[in-house]
Amino acid sequence: MGKLNEPVAAESPCEGCRDSSVESAGGNFAEGPTKANTVKAVRRGSLTDSAAHDADKDSYVEPPRRNAIYRFTEWLIPYGGVVSNCFSLGSVTLGGGIISMPSSFAMSGIIMSVIYLVVIMTVTVYTMTLLGYAMKATGCKTFEDLALVLFGRGWDYFVGFVLWLSCFGTAVAYISAVGSLITPILENAPGTPAYLKTTAGNRCITSLIWLVFMVPVIIPKRINSIRYVSAVGVTMVLYFVLTIIIHSSTNGMKKGMRDDMKYFTTGNQAVYGLSIFIFSFLCQAVTGSVYFEGRPKPSIKQLTIASAISMSVCMVLYILAGVFGYFDFAGKTQDSILYNFDPVHQPYMMVAYIGMLIKLCAAFAMNMIPCRNFTYHCLKWDLDTVPYWKHVIAVLLTAVVTLICGLFIPSINTALGLVGSLCGGFISFLFPAYFWMYCGNWSLKTVGIWHWLGTYFLVVAGVIAIVFGTISTVYFSFFV
**364: helix, strand or coil:** helix
Q: What is the pLDDT of residue 271?
A: 81
Kindly tell me if the per-residue pLDDT of 3 is higher than 50: no
Separation CA 220–CA 366 (nearest Å): 12
The per-residue pLDDT of the chain, averaged, comes to 81
- Predicted confidence band at 36 (pLDDT cuts at 50, 70, 90)? very low
**223: helix, strand or coil:** coil
* Whether the Cβ atoms of residue 180 and residue 339 lie closer than 8 Å to each other: yes
Separation CA 280–CA 421 (nearest Å): 11
Query: What is the rounded (10 degree) CA torsion for 331, 335, 340, 346?
Result: 140
Q: What is the pLDDT of residue 142?
A: 83
Separation CA 69–CA 84 (nearest Å): 17
Kindly tell me if the per-residue pLDDT of 205 is higher than 50: yes
> What is the enclosing helix (H) or strand (E) of 82?
helix 82-93
Q: What is the pLDDT of residue 1?
A: 47
- Whole-angstrom CA distances from 243 to 99, 185, 249, 313, 347 are 12, 16, 10, 17, 11
Q: What is the pLDDT of residue 26?
A: 43
Amino acid at the residue 259: D
Q: What is the pLDDT of residue 75?
A: 53
Q: What is the pLDDT of residue 127?
A: 95
Closest CA to 443 of 6, 26, 8: 26
Kindly tell me if the per-residue pLDDT of 55 is higher than 60: no
Percent of the chain scored above 90 by pLDDT? 35
Selected residue with higher pLDDT from 440 and 225: 440
Q: Check residue 441 and give left, alpha or beta (phi > 0: left; psi -120 to 50: alpha).
A: left
- Whole-angstrom CA distances from 410 to 14, 335, 336, 476 are 48, 10, 12, 11
Q: Check residue 380 and give left, alpha or beta (phi > 0: left; psi -120 to 50: alpha).
A: left
* Whether the Cβ atoms of residue 465 and residue 429 lie closer than 8 Å to each other: yes
The secondary structure of residue 468, as a DSSP letter, is I
Q: What is the pLDDT of residue 240?
A: 93
Kindly tell me if the per-residue pLDDT of 318 is higher than 80: yes
Kindly tell me if the per-residue pLDDT of 284 is higher than 90: no
Supply the DSSP string of 299-341, one letter for each residue: -HHHHHHHHHHHHHHHHHHHHHHHHHHHHHHGGG--SSGGGG-
Q: How many helices (H) and strands (E) does the chain have?
A: 21, 0
Separation CA 308–CA 306 (nearest Å): 6
Kindly tell me if the per-residue pLDDT of 57 is higher than 50: no
Q: Check residue 295 and give left, alpha or beta (phi > 0: left; psi -120 to 50: alpha).
A: beta
Closest CA to 377 of 169, 147, 127: 147
- Predicted confidence band at 46 (pLDDT cuts at 50, 70, 90)? very low
Amino acid at the residue 251: N
Separation CA 10–CA 137 (nearest Å): 8
Kindly tell me if the per-residue pLDDT of 387 is higher than 80: yes
- Predicted confidence band at 10 (pLDDT cuts at 50, 70, 90)? very low
Query: What are the two backbone dihedrals, phi and then psi, of residue 183, each rounded to the nearest 5 degrees?
Result: -60, -55
- Predicted confidence band at 362 (pLDDT cuts at 50, 70, 90)? confident
Separation CA 267–CA 255 (nearest Å): 28
Q: Average pLDDT, stretch 268-291? A: 85
Separation CA 249–CA 323 (nearest Å): 11
Q: Average pLDDT, stretch 167-191? A: 90
Q: What is the pLDDT of residue 45?
A: 42
The answer to which of 39-43, 405-409, 417-421 has the lowest mean pLDDT is 39-43
Q: What is the pLDDT of residue 35?
A: 36
Question: Mind listing the pLDDT tens digit for each residue in 111-131?
Answer: 999 999 999 999 999 999 999
- For each of the domains in the chain, give its residue range(s) and CATH number, in order of start: 78-478 (1.20.1740.10)
